[in-house]
Amino acid sequence: MLYRDLHKIALTILLIGLINVYNILKEGIILNIPNVSERLGSLHCNINLIKIFIFITFIFILIFNLPNFSIISQETMKQNKVEYELILGLGLLGLIILGLSNDLIFLYLGLELYSFSIYFLILVKETLVLRKISIFYFIISSLSSALLLYSFSQLYKISGTLNMGEIKYLLGDISFANINLLIYSIILVFLFKLGSGPFLFWLIRVYSDLEKKILWYQLLIPKLFFFILLLKFTTLMSETNKYFIFSIYIMAIISILFGSIGGLFQIKDNKLLSYSSILNTGYILLTFAILLFNYKITIGNSNIETDKYWLIYQYFFVYFLNLLGLFSVLFLFRRSSKVSAFNSFLLQPYFFFSFFIIILSFIGMPPFSGFFSKFYLFFSLFSYSNLTNLTLIIFIGSTLISSFLYLKFLFASSYSPLEEEYTTVLNTLFPNFYTYILSFTTILTIVYSFFLSSLLPFFILSFSI
C-alpha cells in the first residue's frame, strides 16, 4: 500500500517545496548575493516571471494528484506501477531547479534531471518505434548538454565564479572579445531544447508518437522554464548586440513559417500540436526580440510603466489556457489519434460550444483572448519601422495559414461521418473529470478575454503619446 502511494507522497513533498520556494521569492531573498540590486540589475526583474511559472507548475502538479487523472494510462500503470510518476516528479523538480537556480552547476544538474526524465517517459509504451525515438532524443540531448557544459566551464575560467549574479557583475569590468559568443552558445542550447527554428526537426520526430498527457506536459511546462533561462542569460551580455537580436528574429521567422505551413499537411493530432507548438514558439521569440529593443508600455497618460515582460506573461497564459482546453478534448477521445474522432461532439452541443471557443481563441478570432494576445504583439511590431514591412506580412500571413491548421479540428468535428465506436466512447466518458476541465478552461478564456479587451484602449493610447 505504501509503495502504491509513493508517487503521491513524492509529489506532495514537491508541492510543499513549491510553496516554500514561493514564500522565499515573496520575501525577495532567493538570490543570496550581497548588494543584489546593484549586482543583478535586470536579472532581478525575472523574479515576477519565475513566480508566475511556479504557480502554473503548482497547478499542474495539483491536477496530476487528483483522482482519475494520471500522466500514464491505467494499463501502463498496471504494468509499470508508479515508476513513471516518480520520474515525472523528478523531471518537474529538475525544471524548478532550472527556473530558480543562479548557480551554473545546479542549473546544469537540473537540465540533466529533466532530460533523463523525458528519456524514460518516452518509453511508456515499450514499442520499437519509441525505443528508436528515445535513443535519438538521448543522443541529441547529450550533444547539446556537452556544448552547454563547455560554455559553462569557459565562463568559470573567465570569471572565477559559478554564480550568475556575480558573473554579470564581474563581466562589466572584463574586456573579452568573445564573451558574448559563449552567451550565444548557451542561448542556442536553450533554443534547441525549445525546438525553435532551425533546431526543430527533432521535435516532430520525438513528439509524433508520444502519449497525449506526456505530450501536453512536454509542449507546455518545459517551455516556460527554458524561456526563464533565455531571459536570464540574455541579461548577462554586456550589451545587446544587434546581430544577436537579428538572429533571434530569424529563428522566430523560421519557426513561424515552418509551424504554419508544415501543419497544413498533417492529419495526426500529435503532429498538428507539434507544429502548433513550433508556431507559438516563433510568436514568443518574436515577442522576445521586441523586448530586446527595450520596448516599454505605458498605461494611458500615467508615468507608470508596466512590466517589461508583460507581453510574454499574457501570451503564455493564453497559450496555457488554450492548450489545456484542447488537450482535455484529446483526453476524452484518446482511443484514436485521428482528427475525425472529434465528430462525437455533435452529440453534446455544450461541449462542442466549448471546443468551438477554444479553437477560435487558438486562431485569434475576436473577441477571444487569443485575438488580443496576437493583437498586442501586432501593435508592438508596428511600432518599429525597421521591422514593420516584412515582419508584419509574415505575421499576418502565418496567422491566416495557421487558421486552417486549427480549423481541421473544428471541421472534422462538424462534418465527418459519425462512427459507432466513438458514440460508445462518448457515452461512457461523459461526464468525467476532463469535461470539468474543459468547462473551466472555457469560462476562464471568456473572462480573460474581457480583461484583455479592457486594456485595449490604454494600450493603443500608449502608441499615440
**207 and 168 share a domain?**
yes
In this structure, the answer to whether residues 161 and 253 fall within a common structural domain is no
Whether 355 and 435 map to the same domain: the answer is yes
Residue pair 286/378 in contact by the 8 Å Cβ criterion: no
Q: What is the DSSP string of 270-303?
A: HHHHHHHHHHHHHHHHHHHHHHTTT---B-TT-S
Residue 412 within a domain: yes
8 Å CB contact between 298 and 306: yes
Whether 233 maps to a domain, the answer reads: no
Does 54 map to a domain? Answer: yes
User: If 0-12 CB within 10 Å is exposed, 13-18 middle and 19+ buried, where does residue 193 land?
Assistant: buried
Residue 44 within a domain? yes
pLDDT of residue 420: 44
> Range of 349's domain?
240-465
Which of 182, 208, 228 is the last residue in one of the domains? 228
| Domain-terminating residue out of 228, 260, 277 | 228
Q: Please indicate, yes or no, whether residues 305 and 221 belong to a single structural domain of this protein.
A: no
pLDDT at position 72: 47
The verdict on 281 and 348 lying in the same domain is yes
In a shared domain, residues 215 and 248: no
Same domain, 169 and 314: no
Asked whether residue 195 falls in the same domain as residue 248, the answer is no
Note whether 93 and 208 are same-domain residues: yes
Per-residue pLDDT of the chain (465 residues; tens, 9 = 90+): 444 444 455 555 555 555 555 554 444 444 443 443 443 444 444 444 455 555 555 555 555 544 444 444 445 444 554 566 677 777 888 887 887 778 888 888 888 888 888 888 777 667 777 788 888 888 888 888 888 888 888 888 887 788 877 777 776 655 555 677 787 888 888 888 888 877 777 888 888 877 777 787 888 778 878 887 887 777 766 555 677 777 888 888 888 888 888 877 777 778 888 888 888 888 888 888 777 765 544 444 443 344 556 777 788 888 888 888 888 877 766 544 444 455 555 566 777 788 888 888 888 888 888 888 888 777 777 665 455 577 778 888 888 888 887 877 666 555 544 444 444 444 444 456 677 778 888 888 888 887 776 665 555 555 444
Exposure letters 66-85 (e unless 16+ CB within 10 A, then b): eeeebbbeeebbeeeebebb
The pLDDT of residue 305? 44
User: Dihedral (C-alpha) 145, 174, 167, 42: value to the nearest 10 degrees?
Assistant: -110
Look up the pTM and report it. Answer: 0.76
Do 321 and 275 fall within a single domain?
yes
Same domain assignment for residues 172 and 277: no
Q: Supply the pLDDT for residue 59.
A: 54
SS3 assignment, position 366: coil
